[in-house]
Chains A and B, each alone.
Chain A
Amino acid sequence: MKKMFVGFSIFIAAIFYVFLAKAAIAADDENCLMCHKYIKMGRITEEGERKYYYVDEEIFSKTVHNRVKCRDCHSYIEKLPHDPVKEGVQCNSKCHSIQNPATRKDFDHNNIYDVYMKSVHGREKVAAKEVDKDKPYCIFCHTNPLYIPHEIPNADGTVRSAEVPAAIADRCDVCHQKREFVEHRYLHTARRILSVKRSPQEVVELCLTCHGNEEFLERHEKLHEGEGKHLGKKFTFAGEAYQESFHGKVTKYGFKEAANCLSCHAKSENYYLAVHDIRSSKDPESTTHKNNRVNTCGKCHTDANKNFARIDPHPTERKDDNPFIYYIANVYGPFGDMVTYALLGLTILETIGRKRDGIAWVLRRGSTWRKKSKRGRDRR
């Protein structure tokens, strides 16, 4: 009897275990999670920056890289436990664990990587030159937010839902039978369709993390000058000036139809390639090159011609940027002040004069002349 009870308890516990325990999800053949599953795993660098080494298996299993083995990207790890990491992830390496279903070759990001390397932002992971260190590497924009729990993207503090809606999965299930397959494919496609593209507002915010940081921009400009190159005259304040333009004002508050940074600075043919192909306006291939501006503006402003393309999309009243308007503003401002004070003066004068003449400052009922004049003007 006692044995039966123990056996039954074990059976019940086993059932609970099967139903409640998390299923092993990610492909962790290398057993990295042996250590990286611990939540407290991390350190604080000498600069005071927090580094997290914790990987939440459940979250990672829902990211785009869930089928990629850790060492496909972290290829410098050769033994366990591994040495302190110095290099970081390179995004142009081959993923041996994933095949490109179209070509049957090892998957890589090199198409986009090559385009990016030619753009004005392009740089190696470990930048050789001091100037290049200011430029963004892939992971600056591609934060893979679900991978790092403290970098949760939604404004209200919630994690982006990566659950597959049952109503959809049930339907796929009917033919595809394997729920795991269905969920994986659904997430793969859904992520690309729904959430991978930043909203115009987010694009501007992203660009402004560097292009709106005055200290950073000035240092970068100095570094460039040290190399004997000259950046555009608007380089240090273009972002800030854009925010003050009509495009910037409405985009800042979530309007989606006005031009954001990418609308003009990236080509329009293939958005995903083009955003990696931002070039200097001195480059004849650039959308912002003098010869291409009419076309670029014409994407939205259908009536655009050469005259229209002269209009400054990053307007300021700075003396070094637009001396013409700087001097006009300096005449117009005092003129406005003068008018205001002149009118105020006349108003005060009139009030004093009329009060002295014996006018009542009361609700009118018939005549307004109630009091005696202080000038002794009342003959009767």
Chain B
Amino acid sequence: MRLSEDAKKVLNATIAINKTSEKDRKELEELIEMMPDDRVLLYKNVDSNPVGDLPRYSIHIRAQHLMMFISFLLLAFTGLPVHYNETFWAIPFNKLLGGIYVTRIIHRAMASIFIFAAVYHILTLVFDTLLKIKNKRFDWRRTVIPHLKDAFDIRDDIFYFLGKKDQRPEMDKFAYKQKIHYFAALFGNTVMMVTGATFLFPDTIARFNPLPADYVQSVTRLFHPHEALLALIVIAFWHWYNVHFAPGRFPMQWTFLTGRLTREHQIEEHFLEYLRNLVEMPSERVYLKELLLKKKLLSREAEARIRTLKPGFESD
């Protein structure tokens, strides 16, 4: 396989970070040469354990996601019947909970879990990054920091889905979709927390807020419910689609529980991360090499080379 410029950069950076030995580097070079240029062949033929093969999320991220999504859904379920309190479904729902005033108490309790998860997340990110920088293992391409390549990835992915391109773009650990999603959630959650606080402590916020409170309050009154609806639509239509309903992901990805991603998914949507896996996990190299030989998925160069070594080797 001829690596792209991006892939070379990622590979070299990972080799440098891991201080990979000369022997391993040779093995890697050989393996990459053996891999077919068509990545579709790779991810269509690898073995995948539905609950996940390759590490992706730490226990902290998983805990945050769990807290976040439980509190988010309950926030939505208790926020909507307060906003749309006169609709046919909201009236019995509020009554079921014990009245609209109970609904909003639950809403606030859930908000505290939501805020806790957000603070926990920020602390995790900060300490993890600091630790990585200290150990000289920090690779910014492996984070959610957006860069220009993401824009090209969007374009290339749309072309691929339209049938104008052969392969999906080589994406990193966090693909463009995840980055958009992450920053949308970051913006949305910040908006929700700030506006929610101005509802719960209107007088205290107005005391510390140098801006005219009437304008601020009318903006927050508009943004809190609308941002919530937008978040719910993004969650329901996009996130759930991506992790549950998309063909190939149905009925769900187990990553949020196991922290592991299936091999086929890693190669398909996070190929650059898979290259890192190959550098970091010798067992993965052994597995892939055996697979390539067994299923005869070699690149043309490798085929030719092996044929000169072993004349009996055939591929159809």
Contact = CB atoms under 8 A, between A and B. Distances in A.
Nearest to A333: B226
Contacts of B203: 297, 301-305, 308
A273 to B, nearest CB: 28
B170 interface: no
Main DSSP-derived SS at the B contact region: helix
Contacts of A181: none
B151 interface: no
Interface stretch (B8-16, B130-138, B154-162): B154-162
Contacts of B21: none
Contacts of A59: none
Contacts of A365: 50
A315 B199 CA distance: 14
Contacts of A297: 203
A347 B219 CA distance: 31
Interface in A334-371: 336, 339-340, 343-344, 346-347, 349-369
Contacts of B43: 369
Contact of A315 (B38, B221, B249, B297): B221
B176 to A, nearest CB: 10
12 contacts: A249-B85, A297-B203, A307-B209, A308-B207, A311-B217, A315-B221, A324-B218, A347-B237, A349-B162, A363-B251, A369-B43, A373-B40
Contact of B241 (A301, A308, A347, A355): A347
Interface stretch (A141-149, A252-260, A283-291): A252-260
A375 interface: yes
Nearest to A321: B218
Interface in A229-282: 246, 249-250, 252-255
A311 B251 CA distance: 48
B182 interface: no
Instruction: Give the contact-size bracket for chain B.
Output: 35 or more
A209 to B, nearest CB: 19
Interface residues of A, number: 61
B191 to A, nearest CB: 11
Contacts, number: 160
B161 A310 contact: no
Given A350-B161, A373-B40, 8 more contacts: A250-B100, A252-B85, A307-B212, A325-B222, A329-B222, A346-B158, A375-B163, A377-B40
B247 A361 contact: yes
B113 interface: no
A327 B148 CA distance: 33
Most central of A325, A363, A373 by chain B CB within 10 Å: A325
Interface of B: 38, 40-41, 43-44, 46-50, 82, 85, 94, 99-101, 104, 158, 160-163, 166, 199, 201-204, 206-207, 209, 212-215, 217-219, 221-223, 226, 229-230, 233-234, 237-238, 241, 246-251, 264, 295-297, 316
A104 to B, nearest CB: 48
A310 B214 contact: yes
Contact of A353 (B50, B161, B241): B161
Contact of A303 (B50, B207, B230, B233): B207
Contacts of A349: 158, 161-162
Contacts of A305: 203, 206-207
Contacts of A375: 163
Given A253-B94, A344-B237, A365-B50, A354 B218 contact: no
A362 B297 CA distance: 26
B206 A308 contact: yes
Given A301-B203, A347-B238, A360-B248, A336 B229 contact: yes
Contacts of B162: 349, 353
Given A252-B85, A310-B213, A311-B217, A352 B161 contact: yes
B264 A367 contact: yes
A340 B143 CA distance: 26
Nearest to B252: A364
A82 interface: no
Interface in A294-320: 297, 301-305, 307-308, 310-312, 315, 317
Interface string A3-46: 00000000000000000000000000000000000000000000
Given A336-B226, A380-B316, A315 B218 contact: yes
B206 A307 contact: yes
A332 interface: yes
Contacts of A167: none
Nearest to A298: B203
Nearest to A353: B161
A254 B39 CA distance: 63
A102 interface: no
B213 A308 contact: yes
A253 B85 contact: yes
A360 B264 CA distance: 14
Contact of B246 (A317, A322, A350): A350
Contacts of A315: 217-218, 221
Given A336-B226, A356-B163, A246 B250 contact: no
Nearest to B315: A380
B233 A340 contact: yes
Interface in A170-228: none
Contacts of B94: 253
A315 B94 CA distance: 23
Contact of B218 (A325, A340, A343): A325
B12 to A, nearest CB: 30
Contact of B264 (A253, A333, A368, A377): A368
A166 interface: no
A339 B229 CA distance: 12
A375 B238 CA distance: 26
A85 interface: no
B37 to A, nearest CB: 11
Given A303-B204, A352-B161, A361-B247, A369 B238 contact: no
